[in-house]
């Protein structure tokens, strides 16, 4: 495994390297050259086959230490001379912050030692080249988020969002932002904010007679004061560097319009059109709404960007900036890192079901790189996602408006909003099938195309609906006429259209209004979507795939109809009873247990989740899983973010992929959906030599006493007065607390994307080790038992 270091880390290794023996010293230059070569290669991304950001090298200590260790380290900062209230506040803050940080570090959204992090760390090295002690306290990671933001924690961890770097103009802007974040750290703004907010909420000192509205205002003012301080102190630090301040202030322009993406290019109406598939002009806005800067900062945590810009510019008056440079680390490095971030944004949008944004971002990048298969796949996945959500009546689960959108992407939002489910489906099939013809060996494209075609059959079971003849010349004029009658110019008074919730795909064939509409459209020779497959219908493979999709659909339909029968339900109940009695038999050759979780919840507390106890219990759970899986003879592998070693960056990447996967699956519910990360997932199944991955965990829940419990306590107390032997039980019942423990196991077959087995065992005890052992052992025995 190759190792790469951030520059700061490498410097700390240097003195040790000098002490090495001659043999190693001889090879040292070669080793360094190798490292540099690795670094150069990292920037040399193949953007046609873009690989999303992945961590590499040594896993930083922050990722490996537990929340409690972080907390214990943080509280060393608290002076014994401080007032009791401050001590309490700081302890609470450090406590929550430590757990919050670990949650984020283990979410898979942060990456380390990737090309972008390495670049940003280099910029920080440049800023702090004369302040090594401060540099050693700072760690920078890239956060997979599309927002224009950066965060600093009190312990020196800075996250830079992918969306921030993607939008910047140059390195000086990045340097100014980093200086701003450094001030947040050096001045411990996050702790100061907590203390001040406590004063505000408690009405202490100057806030004694403050009402609720004024308290909100005061909290906002304090936050803005800190931001302004960070701007100005950060600027002082920035001015000590050789970066050009005049080039840096462009960041405030971006801040003023954070709603816009990194580039504004009009969306071409004919982008998805072919010579035969033409969309009605009414599906496009004649004019998009004006872009408006967000200048109202009355309740915001940050001052308005224009005020911040003015404050910074006023400090730059009369400064000599000769010799200052826009790029110090390098323009190429900046451009490479930024390009990676822009490509990464498409993937992040897709993961967050922001399909319209993913589509428009891919569209922008395709203008520069039209041959990129990665970007084409992003377009295809966006169309697939939009079509699936619309067909399954879940379009309202994703962003379904367009009024609030600003910039040219509004056209995209409007277009997809106007498209009916069958139209969007046909469009997706058309795009995907053509992509499949270009890349027939791409398993991801093949799987998505197959799925979307099966869904198409519910709308058009008979392929004769689609015309094999070119569109008539009259169609354009008909569409234009139709459009003219609509007048689709966006007004401020426009409201998002109410969505017609689609029926499920198996209901849609029943006689309904929608069916009637379908019939009406079917007869309409001017229905534009009829000409979607003019080219494809000449392809025998497409005809074959269409017929196959019809067969698949019919099979699914008859399966679902059978499932509605009494006979099936009776048989199902019988199987259920037998499984309950005898257990199941999955016959798994190997199981990968992913990130076991543990939550101890006490309903009676203001903070119900007992974080420290949960973390300790989680470690015990890992041991419990290992013991029982071994005893059951199950071939397993446990991978856990809480159990990372210095060399387990690959495991970290695997877990990041799996985290995204499980989040996506849980969001989809019962909707059949081909996973976006098919390639990554297939790589994982190959690596771990199994398709079966288990998300498992325990939740122990302590209940509030309810009426029934109180009633029973009273009954037993009364009886014990008259009948003394009941006294011990009455006492026990009076003081006992009621617990529920849930042991959850959810096995996914990553090959099919289906859940293989979901178990939620609820026991009315505290999380006793014997109960956990007993249930887990039984589960693993069932997972191992060969199928009959």
Partner 1 sequence: MICFFLFPALLKGQVPGYQGKHFILSYNLDVLPNLAYIDLNSVSTLPVQILFSNHISTEYVLGRSFSLGLDASYSQSKIFLVDGNANESGDSYGLNLTFYPKKNNTIAPVGNYFKIRIFTGSTWASGNIRNNTFDNNGYPVTLIKPEQTNLTVNGFGIGFGNNMIVHNNIVLTASVNLDFNVMNFNNNKIPTGSNFEELTYDIQNHLFETYLFYFKLGIGGLMF
The reply to whether 302 sits near partner 1 by the rule CB under 8 A is: no
**Six-digit token string for 246:** 């005049």
Write out the binding residues for partner 1, residues 419-478 only, by CB under 8 A.
none
Closest approach of Cβ 759 to partner 1, in Å?
10
The reply to whether 787 sits near partner 1 by the rule CB under 8 A is: no
Closest approach of Cβ 762 to partner 1, in Å?
6
The reply to whether 53 sits near partner 1 by the rule CB under 8 A is: no
The reply to whether 775 sits near partner 1 by the rule CB under 8 A is: yes
Closest approach of Cβ 580 to partner 1, in Å?
6
Contacts of 343 (CB under 8 A, 6+ apart): 45, 47, 50, 365, 374, 375
The reply to whether 580 sits near partner 1 by the rule CB under 8 A is: yes
Taking every pair of Cα atoms in the chain, the longest distance, rounded to a whole number of angstroms, is: 98
Choices 153-161, 203-211, 427-435, 627-635; region in contact with partner 1 by CB under 8 A: 627-635
Residues 686-725 vs partner 1: string with x where CB under 8 A?
--------------------------------------xx
Residue 747, helix vs strand vs coil: strand
68: left (phi over 0), alpha (psi -120 to 50) or beta: alpha
The reply to whether 768 sits near partner 1 by the rule CB under 8 A is: yes
For partner 1, how many residues bind (rule: CB under 8 A)? 30
Q: 74 near 154, Cβ under 8 Å?
A: yes
Which residue's CB is nearer to partner 1, number 710 or number 728? 728
Distance CA 598, CA 620 (A): 10
Write out the binding residues for partner 1, residues 632-691 only, by CB under 8 A.
632
Candidates 310, 313, 480, 631; binder of partner 1 (CB under 8 A) is 631
The reply to whether 782 sits near partner 1 by the rule CB under 8 A is: yes
| Closest to 9 (Cα-Cα) out of 54, 43, 44, 39 | 39
What φ, ψ does residue 39 adopt, rounded to 5°?
-60, -45
**453, exposed or middle or buried, with CB in 10 Å at 0-12, 13-18, 19+?**
buried
The reply to whether 777 sits near partner 1 by the rule CB under 8 A is: yes
By DSSP bridging, strand 692-702 and strand 739-749 are antiparallel
Candidates 628, 656, 659, 720; binder of partner 1 (CB under 8 A) is 628
Sign of CA dihedral 564, 566, 571, 575: positive
The reply to whether 773 sits near partner 1 by the rule CB under 8 A is: yes
Closest approach of Cβ 763 to partner 1, in Å?
5
**Six-digit token string for 473:** 């010349």
Candidates 581, 686, 708, 787; binder of partner 1 (CB under 8 A) is 581
The reply to whether 525 sits near partner 1 by the rule CB under 8 A is: no
End-to-end alpha-carbon separation of the chain, Å?
A: 42
Helix, strand, coil fractions of the chain, as percent rounded to 5: 60, 10, 30
Choices 4-12, 370-378, 552-560, 628-636; region in contact with partner 1 by CB under 8 A: 628-636
Closest approach of Cβ 786 to partner 1, in Å?
11
**Distances in Å between the alpha carbon of 226 and those of 127, 179, 625?**
21, 14, 47
Which residue's CB is nearer to partner 1, number 271 or number 729? 729
Contacts of 626 (CB under 8 A, 6+ apart): 638
Distance CA 741, CA 763 (A): 5
The reply to whether 744 sits near partner 1 by the rule CB under 8 A is: no
**Six-digit token string for 170:** 């140059």
Contacts of 87 (CB under 8 A, 6+ apart): 78
Write out the binding residues for partner 1, residues 390-419 only, by CB under 8 A.
none
Candidates 729, 739, 751, 783; binder of partner 1 (CB under 8 A) is 729
The reply to whether 737 sits near partner 1 by the rule CB under 8 A is: no
Closest approach of Cβ 733 to partner 1, in Å?
12
| Closest to 688 (Cα-Cα) out of 638, 626, 625 | 638
Residues that bind partner 1 (CB under 8 A): 580-583, 585, 627-628, 631-632, 724-725, 728-729, 761-765, 768-771, 773-775, 777-778, 781-782, 785
């Amino acid at each position: 495994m190759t190792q790469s270091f951030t520059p700061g880390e490498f410097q700390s290794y240097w003195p040790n390297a000098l002490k090495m023996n001659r043999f190693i010293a001889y090879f040292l230059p070669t080793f360094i050259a190798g490292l540099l070569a690795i670094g150069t290669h990292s920037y040399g991304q193949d953007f046609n086959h873009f690989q999303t950001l992945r961590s590499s090298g040594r896993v930083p200590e922050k990722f490996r230490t537990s929340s409690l260790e972080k907390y214990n380290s943080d509280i060393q900062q608290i002076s014994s001379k401080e007032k009791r209230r401050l001590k309490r506040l700081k302890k609470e803050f450090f406590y929550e912050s430590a757990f919050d940080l670990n949650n984020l570090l283990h979410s898979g959204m942060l990456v380390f030692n990737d090309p972008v992090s390495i670049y940003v760390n280099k910029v920080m090295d440049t800023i702090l080249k004369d302040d090594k002690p401060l540099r050693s306290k700072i760690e920078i990671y890239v956060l997979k988020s599309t927002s224009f933001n950066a965060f600093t924690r009190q312990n020196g961890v800075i996250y830079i969002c992918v969306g921030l770097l993607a939008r910047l103009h140059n390195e000086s802007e990045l340097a100014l932002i980093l200086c701003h974040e450094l001030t947040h750290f050096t001045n411990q703004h996050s702790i100061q904010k907590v203390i001040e907010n406590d004063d505000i909420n408690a009405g202490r000192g100057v806030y004694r007679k403050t009402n609720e509205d004024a308290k909100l205002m005061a909290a906002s003012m304090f936050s803005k004061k800190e931001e302004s301080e960070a701007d100005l102190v950060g600027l002082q630090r920035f001015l000590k560097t050789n970066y050009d301040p005049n080039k840096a202030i462009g960041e405030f322009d971006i801040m003023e319009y954070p709603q816009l993406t990194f580039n504004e290019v009009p969306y071409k109406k004919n982008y998805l059109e072919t010579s035969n598939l033409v969309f009605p002009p009414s599906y496009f806005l004649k004019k998009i709404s004006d872009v408006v800067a967000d200048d109202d900062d009355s309740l915001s945590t940050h001052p308005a960007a224009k005020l911040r810009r003015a404050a910074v510019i006023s400090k730059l008056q009369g400064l000599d900036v000769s010799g200052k440079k826009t790029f110090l680390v390098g323009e190429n490095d900046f451009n490479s890192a930024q390009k990676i971030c822009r490509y990464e944004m498409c993937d992040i949008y897709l993961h967050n079901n922001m399909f319209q944004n993913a589509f428009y971002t891919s569209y922008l990048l395709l203008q520069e790189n039209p041959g990129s298969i990665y970007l084409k796949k992003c377009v295809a996945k966006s169309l697939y996602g939009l079509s699936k959500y619309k067909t399954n009546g879940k379009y309202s689960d994703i962003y379904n408006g367009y009024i609030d959108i600003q910039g040219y992407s509004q056209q995209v939002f409007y277009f997809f909003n106007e498209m009916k489910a069958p139209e969007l489906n046909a469009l997706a099939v058309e795009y995907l099938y053509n992509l499949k013809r270009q890349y027939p060996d791409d398993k991801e494209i093949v799987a998505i195309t197959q799925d979307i075609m099966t869904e198409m059959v519910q709308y058009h079971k008979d392929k004769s609906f689609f015309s094999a003849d070119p569109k008539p010349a009259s169609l354009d004029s008909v569409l234009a006429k139709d459009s003219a009658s609509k007048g689709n110019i966006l007004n401020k008074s426009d409201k998002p259209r109410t969505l017609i919730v689609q029926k499920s795909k198996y209901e849609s064939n029943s006689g309904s209004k929608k069916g009637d509409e379908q019939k009406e459209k079917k007869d309409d020779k001017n229905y534009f979507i009829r000409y979607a497959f003019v080219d494809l219908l000449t392809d025998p493979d497409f005809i074959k795939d269409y017929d196959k999709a019809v067969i698949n659909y019919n099979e699914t339909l008859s399966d679902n109809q059978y499932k509605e029968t009494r006979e099936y339900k009776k048989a199902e109940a019988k199987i259920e009873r037998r499984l309950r009695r005898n257990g199941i038999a999955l016959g798994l050759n190997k199981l990968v247990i992913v990130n076991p979780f543990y939550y101890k919840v006490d309903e009676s507390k203001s903070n119900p989740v007992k974080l420290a106890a949960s973390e300790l219990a989680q470690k015990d759970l890992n041991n419990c899983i290992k013991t029982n899986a071994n005893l059951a003879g199950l071939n397993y592998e446990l991978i856990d973010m809480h159990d990372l070693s210095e060399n387990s960056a690959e495991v970290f990447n695997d877990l990041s992929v799996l985290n995204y996967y499980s989040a996506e699956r849980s969001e989809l519910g019962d909707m059949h959906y081909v996973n976006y990360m098919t390639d990554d997932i297939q790589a994982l199944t190959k690596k771990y030599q199994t398709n079966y991955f288990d998300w498992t965990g325990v939740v122990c829940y302590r209940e509030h006493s309810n009426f029934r419990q109180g009633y029973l306590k009273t009954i037993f107390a009364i009886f014990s007065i008259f009948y003394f032997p009941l006294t011990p039980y009455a006492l026990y019942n009076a003081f006992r607390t009621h617990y529920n423990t849930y042991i959850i196991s959810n096995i996914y077959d990553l090959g099919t994307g289906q859940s293989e087995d979901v178990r939620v065992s609820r026991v009315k005890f505290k999380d006793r080790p014997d109960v956990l052992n007993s249930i887990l052992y039984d589960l693993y025995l069932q997972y191992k038992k060969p199928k009959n």
